[in-house]
């Protein structure tokens, strides 16, 4: 790679606003022929927004895009394809029940007699391209029968079939095993040798330093810097990516843990597609401590929580809540055993948005006295508790009769929090308890969690926010690829955690 | 997590109801429409339907739709509410009103049958079958046990009708809960099965066919003791029977179940958000079954009330032509699945059906055979505009915008 | 570190299918032993054999092989039905009932309207739009078919009128479910009501109490003279309505369109993953509009066959739930043309049976009119778990 390589893409001063946030704030970005240019940033830093603008899915509020020195308007994916941009989405745009070749030629099919689909020709062309770029796939295989790594190759072939010169790979390794990632890197190098230019979106530091020629770092919608990969270390990148900003420290006393209240032994869990997402996790959470579970999204956190709360059956292993084995109990059984659960997605799962606040408080207990007796509900009692909890947890924006859907995100979360804590659980699982909340609400949730710890509850905090994990936890566990890969004390640095979270600490042995 | 599928964290949710990700778009939108409009949206929906129906009248017959609607209004006896209507005209109006309320009784119950399932996220299109099975059992019990205490007899027949309707709908509920069979297709099939069972039972030589009239495909008449007392009008000329109070009780029970019982809580939670219900520890399949069974019970009672209140017998042709339960769908949709809404919508459609019946509509103004199909048409338009609530909401926003100017 | 990819739940074992086949065979045997030449004189034998068939079917069904389990149950139910009736009536009558060739011809007649509607429904569902308005579209076709044939004087203009009316009705459903993103079930219900009201209204308005004229130009039958010497085939195929032959052609034709043309590929893609289709430049809305309108046109053809091909008259609500049966056939046939057509034949056979039996048996035979609906119920219950609908069916798509 020399500096003499021509620039194939320039995005200048791109700004994109969504109601309430600025997703991209004056971001400039350029791509040279034959290079791998990594786009690095945390979740929500604006990487995907920028690439969706490039692919014509979003329209920028300000700024211009130039491809091969010509200004272009990318109003739709078709226009982007026409301009030579191909995109491999993180969530594959593939049709599981169709074959590889059908997926690739869709929308631009070879025909015979102008009417019929020439599937033979399609298979032939796919084979030809896959040979040329070294992406071995069977054109006749069905997508649902091939591995995720092969599916990704199909996505790349889809772009190549449409003669893409600029290829955007959106978090391509997020769904891959380490071996598959290795193979992908080989493919990427092969593509650049044939003159393709690659934008590689990632938040895994180790792989960025391995594959990229240059690295652009985004943080909270702003472009921080573009640096050559040569000479960049994981530590220096982590600093750029996370920034040295004031973190929200929570005042708390040292913890004083006692009995183990929440215990997980060698748990294995599969996701809906039959992939093993939790691979032998054991945890002990004791009364009076907050254990933080740090990790990048999709490393098995969701499946772990589901299995621990009775929403998903574990393949093997046990879950125990204050001495009671609840591995095979229903969700209701878990709540009865003394577990509280603040779910990851409060709108989809945590609340019935159409119900009033008071009704939402009763979600677990409506069938028990004093909420009801012999099937007869006592709304007055619900409202009385609603009023009490609204006051106690400072829920603003309505009274007990207000629809939960009408509250702001922070107040919705307070409702969930109040419901779970008011049941006086022994153990509490808080999954992303502050996602999407404003600073005030975050502080409230944090303070409350610490108070509950001091009350003697065992708390498992699962979060993607390192700040949060560091400031709240008494112990920190790092999950990676469905396993616990490290335990840290709260004085660990973000860099140390970051390396563990990206598999950095054991990258060598995995490959 | 890519933000391709969702707006970035912090961005407010798209108010129009996010398209593909939303599990039950109609429920969400329904709620939005209900909250946004209160009484305005349903009234606007009905007006729109009547306007389009009037247009059809105008185009096909060249007659003034307003005159037609006025004739229907009077045929339905709604002029009874007007204090200046006096004398014989008032007597006629009272009689017409009684007929309207008889139909309203049935429509309230069949409307509740649809509405209750709706609250659990299910579309019970099989009210007809449940109504017929309820009617069959009511006529069977009502025509047997001569000499039984009238009160016990009536209660027995009505409860049997309710249970039968519950059972019939429960089949669809079980299929939905266990194998996930779509309730729309299964309830439609159950409708036809019920119809043919009825045709078989009351057909010539059938097990329940009339003992005395060998060549009439109809059931035995129910015994005097099983008939519901008439409290308004002349029993000889089909006055209003006390089934009317059963319908009112049905409305109260509906409201009580949904707002005062754990059962209603579970049903609503499943209807609004099955995923949250599951998270909360609620048994989702069980609620699907119960919601269908209770729905069916309402429709079954409707059938029983018609038999015990004014039909007194069930014929093959009645079984085949009973479309009253279908009107319940429009009633529930227009009534926004609330008790009071169902009551008002039932009165509207009850009036429409009575006012367009051969007996009540002046053929000089409009042919009654045509008018009854006009009712069907208006019913379809109501469902259409409820489905296309976007149109109604848009109209409402236009009206609102104009006001301040 | 081992690969994390594991095969999804293994496919149902082959043994189950074998058991299901035994069940299906037993059902047929149960029916066969009551018929000539064996003509068992007690229905108990038939019942025993068929009960075994049904139980095998249920057993297979709950173990996961739902489709074949349902087939076995259906076979058992059907077998006993026939067997029971056969033993009820005298041997002499029996030989008249079981004129197989006539029964087969009758099956084709009953299956034809279902096939049109089912193929139409299949296109709509494949593109991702649920169409429970098929019933209404059929009814519209039935009425406008006869209206057109009457007013224009020829059957083919009647057919064209029906197709045009079906297209307009379907367009309404398309606008509702695609652009207005209305709930597709409610939209379809509205279509059904409107069709019922509109056809009833116009029927009374135009034809009044006398009903449709008797001298309307009907869709002709195709007389295959060369079959005269083969009496069995002659009875079946010798004098079938033109529309039946169209239906026969339609089945492979729709298969070719759906699976062998770029258009079919796109329809399927839009129904499975509209966003994937959108990102490669396919117009999701365009494809859906086309498919829904096509479904309306085909359903209308089915309706027109009923009115001007089969009965030569129109009655209010004459489709009698056939649109819903067609929809069930689509589901049972796993959203494939031949599967759906096979299901239509099954339903058609039960209708033919139900129609022919009463002539020879007592009043109980009327119960067998319910047979197609019972079979449909079983089909929906058994077919759903195993059938895999297009992934995006019923969900409105919103462009970003």
The answer, yes or no, to whether residue C11 has pLDDT greater than 70, is no
Query: With contact defined as beta carbons under 8 Å apart, do A441 and A434 qualify?
Result: yes
With beta carbons under 8 A apart, name residues in chain B contacting C380.
175, 181-182, 185-186, 189
CA dist B169 → B265, C193, C394 (Å): 21, 22, 24
Of the listed ranges A166-170, A207-211, A400-404, C86-90, the least confidently predicted one is C86-90
> Residue B25: which of C183, C189, C325 has the nearest Cβ?
C183
Identify which has the larger pLDDT, A276 or B399.
A276
Cβ contact, residue pair C380, B383, below 8 Å: no
Task: Give the minimum alpha-carbon distance from C285 to chain A in angstroms, rounded to a whole number.
Answer: 14
- Per-residue pLDDT of chain B (405 residues), as tens digits, is 333 333 333 222 222 222 222 334 444 555 555 555 567 778 888 888 888 888 887 887 777 888 888 888 888 888 888 888 788 888 888 888 999 999 999 999 999 999 999 999 898 989 999 999 999 999 999 999 888 899 999 999 999 999 999 999 999 999 888 877 888 889 988 999 999 899 889 888 778 888 888 888 888 898 988 889 988 888 777 889 999 999 999 999 999 999 899 999 999 999 999 889 999 889 999 999 999 999 999 999 999 999 999 889 998 888 887 778 888 998 998 888 899 999 999 999 999 888 887 777 777 777 777 777 888 888 888 888 887 777 777 777 766 665 543
d(CA A421, CA B349): 50
User: Minimum mean pLDDT among A44-48, B310-314, C154-158: which range?
Assistant: A44-48
Between C229 and B254, name the one with better pLDDT. B254
The reported pLDDT for the residue numbered B21 is 29
Tokens representing residue B155 in the block: 């209660």
A511, C165, C273, C336, C389 from C256: Cα distances, Å: 48, 26, 21, 11, 20
Which pLDDT does position B9 carry in this prediction? 30
Least confident interval from A244-248, B136-140, C90-94: A244-248
Domains, chain A, in order of start with CATH, read: 7-242 (3.40.50.300), 246-338+426-433+453-511 (3.40.50.300), 347-424 (no CATH)
Say if C4 is an interface residue toward chain A (CB within 8 Å): yes
Q: What is the pLDDT of residues A248-262, one digit of tens each?
A: 567 778 888 888 999
User: With 60 as the cut, is the pLDDT of residue A19 above it?
Assistant: yes
- A87 with C5: Cβ contact below 8 A: no
- Name the percent of chain C lying above pLDDT 70: 80
Mutate to test the interface with B, among C138, C370, C390 (most CBs of B within 10 A): C370
CB contact (8 A) between residue A330 and residue B281: yes
Cα gap A190→A132, rounded to integer Å: 10
pLDDT of C12 over the 60 cut:
no
A127-153 pLDDT tens trace? 999 988 888 889 999 998 887 788 889
CA distance A166 to A68: 11
pLDDT attached to residue B84: 82
Q: What is the pLDDT of residues C324-356, one digit of tens each?
A: 889 888 887 878 898 888 889 888 888 887 777
Predicted pLDDT of residue C210: 78
Residues 219-258 of A with CB under 8 A from B: none
- DSSP string of C361-376, one letter each residue: S-GGGGGGGGHHHHHH
B294 CB neighbours in chain A (<8 A) are none
Which chain B residues contact residue A333 at CB under 8 A?
Answer: 281
In angstroms, the CA A506 to CA C114 distance is: 63
The pLDDT assigned to C64 comes to 64
Give C100 or A22, the one with higher predicted confidence: A22
C377 touches chain B (CB under 8 A): yes
**DSSP β-ladder status, A376-377 and A372-373:** antiparallel
Both structure tokens of B252: 């109260």
**What pLDDT does C242 receive?**
86
Q: What is the ipTM of this complex?
A: 0.82
Q: Which of A98, A107, A277 sits opposite C282 (nearest CB)?
A: A107
What helix, strand, coil percent values describe chain A, rounded to 5? 35, 30, 40
Nearest to B6 by CA among A298, A90, A79: A90
Mutate to test the interface with B, among C67, C183, C275 (most CBs of B within 10 A): C183
Comparing A354 with B373, the larger pLDDT belongs to: A354
Considering only CA atoms, which of A456, A163, A378 is closest in space to residue B261? A378
Calculate mean pLDDT across residues A31-47: 85
Is it the case that residue C248 has pLDDT exceeding 80? yes
Give the pLDDT score at B357.
79
Q: Between the ranges B190-194, C233-237, C240-244, C379-383, where is the mean pLDDT highest?
A: B190-194
Q: Looking at the partner chain, which of C3, C7, C279 has a beta carbon nearest the beta carbon of A274?
A: C7
pLDDT of residue C91: 54
Q: What is the mean pLDDT of chain C?
A: 80
CB neighbours of residue C28 within 10 Å? 18
What domains lie within chain C, and their CATH numbers?
99-355 (1.10.3470)
Q: C202–B60: do the CB atoms touch at under 8 Å?
A: yes
* Chain A adjacent subunits, 3+ CB pairs under 8 A: B, C
Chain C residues close to B391, C-beta within 8 Å: 180
What are the residue ranges spanned by the domains of chain B?
24-76+337-397, 106-322
Q: For the CA atoms of A18, A21, A23, A24, what is the dihedral angle to 10 degrees?
A: 100
Neighboring chain C residues of B175 at a CB cutoff of 8 Å: 377, 380-381
Q: Nearest Cα to A285, choosing from A432, A460, A451?
A: A460
User: How does the average pLDDT of chain A come out, rounded?
Assistant: 86
Stretch (H or E) spanning A430: strand A427-431
pTM: predicted TM-score of the whole model, two decimal places: 0.81
CB contact C384 to B (< 8 Å): yes
Tokens 């399609």 correspond to: A122
How big is the A-C interface in CB pairs under 8 Å? 92
Chains that touch B (3 or more CB pairs under 8 A): A, C
Would you place residue C399 in the very low, low, confident or very high pLDDT band (cuts 50, 70, 90)?
A: low
Which of C174, C358, C377 to mutate: most B Cβ within 10 Å? C377
Of B60, B123, B191, the CB nearest to C185: B123
pLDDT digits (tens, 9 = 90+) for C112-132: 999 999 999 999 999 999 898
Taking only the tens place, the pLDDT of each residue in A449-477 is 999 999 999 999 998 777 788 889 999 99
């Amino acid at each position: 790679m020399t500096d003499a390589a021509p620039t194939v893409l320039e995005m200048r001063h791109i700004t994109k606003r969504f109601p309430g946030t600025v997703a991209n704030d004056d971001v400039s970005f350029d791509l040279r022929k034959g290079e791998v240019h990594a786009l690095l940033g945390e979740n929500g830093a604006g990487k995907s927004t920028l690439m969706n603008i490039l692919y014509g899915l979003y329209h920028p509020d300000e700024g211009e895009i130039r491809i091969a020195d010509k200004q272009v308007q990318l109003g739709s994916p078709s226009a982007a394809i026409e301009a030579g941009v191909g995109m491999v989405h993180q969530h594959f745009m593939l049709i599981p029940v169709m074959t590889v070749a059908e997926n690739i030629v869709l929308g631009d099919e070879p025909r015979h007699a102008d009417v019929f689909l020439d599937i033979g020709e399609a298979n032939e062309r796919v084979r030809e391209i896959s040979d040329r770029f070294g992406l071995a796939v069977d054109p006749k295989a069905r997508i649902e029968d091939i591995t995720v790594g092969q599916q990704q190759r199909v996505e790349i072939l889809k772009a190549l079939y449409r003669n893409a010169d600029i290829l955007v790979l959106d978090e391509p390794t997020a769904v891959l095993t380490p071996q598959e990632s290795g193979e992908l890197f080989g493919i990427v190098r092969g593509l650049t040798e044939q003159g393709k230019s690659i934008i590689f979106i990632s938040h895994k530091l180790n792989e960025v330093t391995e594959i990229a020629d240059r690295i652009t770092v985004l943080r909270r919608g702003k472009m921080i810097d573009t640096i050559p990969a040569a000479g960049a270390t994981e530590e220096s990148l982590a600093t750029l990516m996370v920034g040295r900003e004031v973190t929200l420290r929570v005042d708390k006393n040292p913890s004083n843990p006692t009995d183990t209240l929440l215990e997980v032994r060698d748990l294995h869990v599969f996701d809906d597609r039959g992939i093993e997402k939790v691979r032998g996790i054991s945890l002990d959470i004791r009364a009076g401590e907050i254990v933080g579970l740090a990790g990048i999204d999709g490393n098995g956190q969701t499946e772990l929580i589901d299995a621990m709360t009775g929403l998903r059956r574990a393949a093997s292993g046990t879950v125990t809540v204050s001495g009671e084995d609840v591995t095979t109990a229903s969700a209701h059984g878990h709540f009865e055993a003394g577990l509280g659960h603040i779910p990851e997605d409060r709108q989809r799962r945590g609340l019935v948005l159409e119900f009033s606040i008071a009704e939402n408080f009763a979600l677990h207990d409506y069938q028990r006295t004093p909420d009801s007796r012999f099937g007869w509900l006592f709304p007055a009692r619900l409202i009385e508790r609603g009023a009490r909890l609204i006051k106690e947890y400072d829920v603003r924006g309505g009274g007990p009769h207000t629809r939960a859907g009408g509250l702001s995100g922070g107040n919705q979360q307070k409702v969930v929090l109040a419901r779970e804590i008011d049941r006086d659980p022994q153990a509490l699982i808080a999954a992303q308890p502050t996602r999407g909340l404003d600073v005030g609400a975050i502080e409230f949730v944090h303070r409350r969690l610490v108070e509950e710890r001091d009350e003697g509850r065992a708390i498992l905090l699962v979060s993607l926010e390192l700040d949060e994990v560091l400031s709240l936890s008494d112990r920190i566990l790092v999950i990676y690829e469905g396993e616990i890969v490290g335990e840290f004390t709260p004085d660990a640095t973000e860099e140390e955690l970051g390396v563990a979270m990206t598999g950095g600490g054991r990258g060598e042995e995995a490959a | 997590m890519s933000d391709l599928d969702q707006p970035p964290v912090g961005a407010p949710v798209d108010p129009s109801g996010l398209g593909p990700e939303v599990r039950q778009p109609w429920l969400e939108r329904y709620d939005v429409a209900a909250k946004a409009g209160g009484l305005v949206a349903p009234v606007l929906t009905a007006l729109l339907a009547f306007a389009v129906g009037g247009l059809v009248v105008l185009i096909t017959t060249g007659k003034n739709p307003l005159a037609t609607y006025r004739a229907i209004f009077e045929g339905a006896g709604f002029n009874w509410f007007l204090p200046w209507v006096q004398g014989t005209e008032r007597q006629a109006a009272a009689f017409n009103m009684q007929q309207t309320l008889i139909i309203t009784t049935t429509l309230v119950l069949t409307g509740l049958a649809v509405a209750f399932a709706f609250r659990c996220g299910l579309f019970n299109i099989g009210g007809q079958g449940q109504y017929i099975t309820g009617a069959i059992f009511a006529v069977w019990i009502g025509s047997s046990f001569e000499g039984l205490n009238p009160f016990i007899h009536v209660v027995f027949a009505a409860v049997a009708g309710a249970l039968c309707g519950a059972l019939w709908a429960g089949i669809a509920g079980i299929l939905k809960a266990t194998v996930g069979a779509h309730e729309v297709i299964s309830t439609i099939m159950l409708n036809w099965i019920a119809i043919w069972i009825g045709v078989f039972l009351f057909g010539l030589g059938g097990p329940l066919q009339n003992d005395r009239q060998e060549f009439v495909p109809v059931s035995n008449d129910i015994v005097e003791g099983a008939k519901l007392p008439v409290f308004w009008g002349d029993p000889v000329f089909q006055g209003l029977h006390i089934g009317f109070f059963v319908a009112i009780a049905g409305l109260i029970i509906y409201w009580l179940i949904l707002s005062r019982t754990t059962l209603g809580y579970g049903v609503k939670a499943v209807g609004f958000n099955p995923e949250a219900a599951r998270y909360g520890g609620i048994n989702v399949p069980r609620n699907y079954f119960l919601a269908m069974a209770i729905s069916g019970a309402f429709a079954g009672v409707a059938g029983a009330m018609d038999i015990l209140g004014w039909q007194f017998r069930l014929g093959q042709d009645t079984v085949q032509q009973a479309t009253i339960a279908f009107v319940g769908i429009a009633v529930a949709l227009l009534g926004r699945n609330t008790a009071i809404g169902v009551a008002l919508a039932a009165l509207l459609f009850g009036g429409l059906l009575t006012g367009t019946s051969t007996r009540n509509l002046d053929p000089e103004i409009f042919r009654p055979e045509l008018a009854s199909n006009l009712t069907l048409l208006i019913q379809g338009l109501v469902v259409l505009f409820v489905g296309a609530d976007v149109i109604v909401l848009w109209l409402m926003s236009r009206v609102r915008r104009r006001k301040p100017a | 570190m081992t690969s994390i990819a594991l095969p999804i739940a293994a496919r149902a074992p082959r043994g189950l299918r074998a058991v299901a086949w035994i069940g299906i065979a037993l059902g047929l045997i149960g029916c066969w032993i009551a018929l000539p030449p064996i003509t068992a004189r007690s229905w108990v034998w038939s019942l025993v054999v068929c009960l075994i068939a049904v139980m095998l079917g249920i057993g297979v069904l709950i173990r996961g092989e739902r489709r074949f389990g349902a087939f076995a149950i259906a076979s058992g139910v059907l077998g006993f039905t026939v067997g029971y009736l056969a033993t009820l009536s005298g041997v002499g009558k029996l030989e008249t009932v079981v004129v197989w060739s006539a029964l087969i011809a009758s099956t084709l007649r009953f299956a034809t309207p279902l096939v049109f509607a089912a193929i139409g429904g299949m296109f709509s569902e494949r593109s991702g739009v649920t169409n429970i308005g098929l019933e209404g579209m059929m009814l519209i076709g039935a009425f406008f078919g006869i209206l057109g044939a009457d007013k224009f004087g020829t059957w083919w203009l009647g057919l064209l009128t029906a197709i045009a009316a079906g297209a307009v009705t379907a367009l309404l459903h398309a606008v509702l479910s695609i652009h207005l993103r209305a709930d597709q079930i409610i939209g379809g219900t509205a279509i059904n009501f409107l069709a019922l009201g509109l056809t009833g209204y116009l029927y009374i308005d135009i034809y009044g109490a006398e009903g449709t004229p008797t001298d309307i130009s009907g869709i002709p039958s195709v007389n295959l003279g060369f079959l005269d010497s083969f009496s069995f085939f002659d009875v079946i195929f010798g004098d079938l309505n033109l529309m039946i032959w169209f239906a026969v052609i339609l089945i492979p034709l729709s298969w070719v369109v759906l699976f062998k043309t770029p258009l079919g590929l796109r329809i399927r893609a839009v129904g499975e993953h509209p966003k994937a289709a959108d990102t490669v430049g396919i117009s999701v809305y365009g494809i859906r509009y086309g498919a829904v309108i096509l479904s309306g046109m085909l359903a209308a053809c089915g309706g027109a066959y009923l009115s001007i091909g089969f009965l030569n008259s129109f009655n209010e609500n004459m489709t009698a739930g056939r649109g819903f049966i067609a929809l069930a056939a689509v589901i049972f046939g796993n959203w494939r043309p031949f599967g759906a057509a096979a299901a239509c034949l099954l339903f058609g056979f039960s209708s033919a049976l139900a129609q022919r039996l009463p002539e020879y048996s007592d009043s109980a035979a009327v119960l067998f009119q319910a047979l197609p609906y019972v079979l449909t119920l079983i089909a929906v219950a058994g077919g759903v778990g195993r059938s895999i609908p297009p992934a995006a069916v019923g969900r409105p798509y919103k462009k970003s």
